[in-house]
């Protein structure tokens, strides 16, 4: 063995010894032994886990993750650790989680159908599910919809069903994690997956203009879940269709709250949902559980066969199906217009106030409003400061946003009081004096 190889070998064995020592130490710390202990120790070595655990430990005082809510009222006051404060961390945007009509519909359905209908819909379903799908389609002005138990499961089932061997799947780099995970399954099935950033006419034209044999799907968020922003969907749809593809919009955060009659960002920008596939959430604005995709009856037949999470997974339970129908009653009544009016008045009040404070605001096109902080520890400290002053907002840090792209993420709900919004603004103004936060970027000319 030459001298160079010997040095390399020595280095490698030293690394192995260090790793084994660290593993043993971790195992001792975690108090587990055997296969589960080994597995835990191995996972704890992963970079993302190490980083998350390090911040959890280092910022124990300000971390505010996995908070336990002890009580809640109809105006978004919650009790945490015996203290009452306003929460701006709920994506039940219309406040329907507190609505007695939904609660009663759930109780009635539980009595009639039981708490769960106990099998994949590929075997059996209940009429309430068909009713909910028809009601959603009527509200959105589309031919049909297909319900899944969550948006994550809808994406994981639908995206690989739409793009397989020989197809091109283009995903916005800023799209929700569930789209990226679904894209990995599609890639495993043989689709060519490309990430695009920024997702716009120019970058898409370059990608979609390349020669390909199969079909093409472009998958994006409607409302971005962290920034509350909306992509230029009209241009994206046009360029996608010009190249023979179809646009897939995960509008989880737009459902029920954005655009005319709350039909979401895609319906608002494109005028109709006839030429796209739109996935909506039934948990956020709807305050129920599940998701749906817009489709035609013919496509629905195919999706029911091709979406693995539909075939091999369970259904949305009857109480939630009944609650979804109760929400559709509200969405088809003048009351919804009033709720939207109030929600948008509160959004406007908060965004104007934040802009006036000179903070770096993003969003405002939806109930998601974020203030850019940047540094992870500073983001956690600023969130804790607000918490201590009576307002819970989400400190969004890596991996939800890029490293040092920390945000204070606020979710406005129709059942927030004006006093809660004004109180939060006052607290943000006071907070600004205590922390060195980035100010609003100068408007480029
Ligand atoms: C754009 C987007 N897609 C999917 C999800 C996940 O939704 P679900 O909780 O229904 O799986 C979220 C959750 O915030 C989201 O923002």
pLDDT tens digits, 318-332: 999 999 999 999 999
Pocket test for ligand 1, best of 219, 252, 265, 409 (most atoms within 8 A of CB): 252
Q: Is the pLDDT of residue 444 over 50?
A: no
Q: Is the pLDDT of residue 26 over 70?
A: no
Report the nearest atom of ligand 1 relative to the CA of 290: 10
Which of these ranges, 92-96, 231-235, 441-445, has the smallest mean pLDDT?
A: 441-445
- Give me the numbers of helices (H) and strands (E) for the chain, helices first please: 16, 15
Peptide bond into 394 cis (omega under 30): no
What whole-number distance in Å separates Cα of residue 159 and Cα of residue 144? Answer: 18
Mean pLDDT of all residues in 227-248: 97
Under the banding of pLDDT at 50, 70 and 90, the label for residue 104 is very high
pLDDT of residue 29: 62
Check if the beta carbon of residue 331 is closer than 8 Å to that of residue 264: no
What whole-number distance in Å separates Cα of residue 55 and Cα of residue 78? Answer: 26
Residue 180 alpha carbon to ligand 1 centre in Å:
12
Where does ligand 1 bind, in terms of residues with CB under 6 Å?
Answer: 150-152, 176, 178, 221, 225, 250, 252-253, 281, 283, 291
pLDDT of residue 33: 72
Residue 212 alpha carbon to ligand 1 centre in Å:
31
Q: Is the pLDDT of residue 426 over 80?
A: yes
Average pLDDT over all residues of the chain? 93
What whole-number distance in Å separates Cα of residue 179 and Cα of residue 186? Answer: 10
User: Tens of pLDDT along 130-164?
Assistant: 999 999 999 999 999 999 999 999 999 999 999 99
Residue 34 alpha carbon to ligand 1 centre in Å:
36
List 80's β-bridge partners, or say none.
Answer: 83
Mean pLDDT of all residues in 357-361: 96
Check if the beta carbon of residue 121 is closer than 8 Å to that of residue 244: no
User: CB neighbours (10 Å) of residue 89?
Assistant: 18
- Output 19 or 86, whichever has higher pLDDT: 86
pLDDT of residue 114: 97
User: CB neighbours (10 Å) of residue 18?
Assistant: 10
Residue closest by Cα to atom 16 of ligand 1: 225
Closest Cα to residue 209, out of 173, 175, 245? 245
Q: Is the pLDDT of residue 289 over 50?
A: yes
Under the banding of pLDDT at 50, 70 and 90, the label for residue 432 is very high
Share above pLDDT 90 across residues of the chain, in percent, rounded to a whole number: 82
pTM: 0.91
What whole-number distance in Å separates Cα of residue 285 and Cα of residue 54? Answer: 34
Mean pLDDT of all residues in 208-236: 94
Closest Cα to residue 361, out of 374, 352, 370, 349? 370
Residue 157 alpha carbon to ligand 1 centre in Å:
14
Mean pLDDT of all residues in 188-207: 97
Within 13 Å and on the Cβ side, how many CA atoms surround 43? 9
List 372's β-bridge partners, or say none.
Answer: 407
Q: Is the pLDDT of residue 400 over 70?
A: yes
Closest Cα to residue 145, out of 255, 288, 293? 293
What whole-number distance in Å separates Cα of residue 99 and Cα of residue 421? Answer: 21
Report the nearest atom of ligand 1 relative to the CA of 175: 1
pLDDT of residue 205: 96
Share above pLDDT 70 across residues of the chain, in percent, rounded to a whole number: 92
Residue 401 alpha carbon to ligand 1 centre in Å:
15
Q: Is the pLDDT of residue 366 over 80?
A: yes
- Output 112 or 211, whichever has higher pLDDT: 112
Instruction: Enumerate domains of the chain plus CATH numbers.
Output: 71-89+334-434 (3.90.1150.10), 99-331 (3.40.640.10)
End-to-end CA distance of the chain: 66
- Output 2 or 364, whichever has higher pLDDT: 364
In the block, residue with structure tokens 């044999």: 213
Pocket test for ligand 1, best of 93, 147, 150, 151 (most atoms within 8 A of CB): 151
DSSP state letter for 441: P
In the block, residue with structure tokens 């091999």: 312
DSSP state letter for 97: G
Residue 12 alpha carbon to ligand 1 centre in Å:
43
Residue closest by Cα to atom 12 of ligand 1: 252
Residue 10 alpha carbon to ligand 1 centre in Å:
48
What whole-number distance in Å separates Cα of residue 93 and Cα of residue 264? Answer: 13
Q: Is the pLDDT of residue 403 over 70?
A: yes
Residue closest by Cα to atom 14 of ligand 1: 225
Residue 252 alpha carbon to ligand 1 centre in Å:
6
Residue closest by Cα to atom 4 of ligand 1: 151
pLDDT of residue 445: 31
Contacts with 248 (C-beta within 8 Å, 6 or more apart), sequence order: 158, 159, 162, 217, 218, 219, 220, 276, 277, 279
Pocket test for ligand 1, best of 148, 156, 258, 281 (most atoms within 8 A of CB): 281
In the block, residue with structure tokens 């195992």: 27
DSSP state letter for 416: -
In the block, residue with structure tokens 């922390």: 435
Report the nearest atom of ligand 1 relative to the CA of 291: 10
Strand 368-374 and strand 276-281: pairing? Answer: unpaired
Report the nearest atom of ligand 1 relative to the CA of 153: 11
Instruction: Report helix, strand and coil shares of the chain as percent, to nearest 5.
Output: 50, 15, 35
Q: Is the pLDDT of residue 244 over 60?
A: yes
- Report CA 316 to chain centroid distance, whole Å: 19
User: Tens of pLDDT along 43-79?
Assistant: 999 988 998 888 889 898 998 988 999 999 999 999 9
User: Tens of pLDDT along 302-353?
Assistant: 999 999 999 999 999 999 999 999 999 999 999 999 999 999 999 999 999 9
Q: Is the pLDDT of residue 259 over 70?
A: yes
* Token pair belonging to 332: 């088809």
């Amino acid at each position: 063995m030459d001298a160079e190889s010997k040095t390399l070998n020595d280095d490698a064995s030293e690394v192995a010894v260090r790793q084994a020592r660290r593993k043993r130490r971790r195992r001792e710390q975690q108090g587990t032994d055997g296969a589960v202990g080994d597995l835990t120790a191995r996972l704890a070595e992963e970079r993302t886990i190490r980083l998350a655990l390090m911040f959890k430990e280092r910022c124990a005082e300000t971390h505010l993750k996995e908070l336990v809510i002890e009580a809640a009222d109809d105006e978004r006051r919650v009790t945490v650790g015996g203290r009452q404060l306003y929460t701006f961390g709920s994506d039940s945007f219309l406040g329907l989680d507190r609505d007695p009509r939904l609660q009663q519909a759930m109780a009635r359905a539980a009595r009639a159908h039981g708490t769960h209908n106990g099998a994949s819909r590929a075997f059996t379903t209940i009429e309430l599910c068909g009713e909910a799908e028809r009601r959603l389609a009527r509200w959105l002005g589309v031919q049909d919809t297909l319900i899944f138990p969550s948006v994550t499961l809808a994406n994981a089932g639908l995206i690989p069903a739409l793009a397989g061997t020989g197809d091109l799947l283009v995903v916005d780099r800023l799209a929700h994690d569930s789209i990226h995970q679904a894209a990995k399954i599609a890639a495993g099935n043989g689709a060519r997956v490309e990430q695009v950033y920024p997702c716009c006419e120019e970058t898409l034209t370059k990608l979609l203009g390349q020669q390909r044999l199969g079909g093409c799907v472009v998958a994006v968020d409607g409302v971005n879940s962290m920034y509350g922003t909306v992509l230029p969907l009209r241009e994206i749809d046009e360029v996608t269709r010009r190249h023979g593809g179809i646009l897939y919009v995960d509008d989880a955060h737009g459902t029920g709250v954005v655009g005319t009659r709350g039909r979401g960002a895609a319906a608002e920008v494109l005028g109709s949902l006839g030429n796209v596939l739109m996935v909506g959430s039934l948990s956020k604005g709807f305050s129920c559980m599940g998701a749906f995709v817009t489709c035609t009856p013919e496509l629905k037949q195919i999706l029911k066969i091709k979406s693995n999470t539909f075939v091999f997974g369970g259904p949305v339970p009857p109480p939630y199906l009944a609650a979804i129908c109760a929400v559709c009653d509200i969405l088809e009544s003048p009351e919804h217009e009033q709720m939207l009016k109030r929600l948008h008045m509160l959004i406007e009040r908060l965004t104007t106030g934040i802009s006036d404070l000179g903070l770096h605001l993003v969003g405002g096109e939806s109930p998601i409003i974020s203030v850019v902080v940047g540094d992870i520890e500073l983001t956690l400290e600023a969130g804790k400061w607000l918490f201590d002053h009576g307002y819970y907002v989400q400190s969004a840090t890596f991996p939800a946003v890029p490293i040092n792209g920390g945000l204070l993420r606020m979710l406005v709900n129709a059942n927030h009081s004006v006093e809660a919004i004004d109180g939060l603004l006052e607290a943000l103004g006071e907070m600004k004096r205590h922390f060195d936060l980035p100010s609003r970027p100068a408007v480029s000319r």
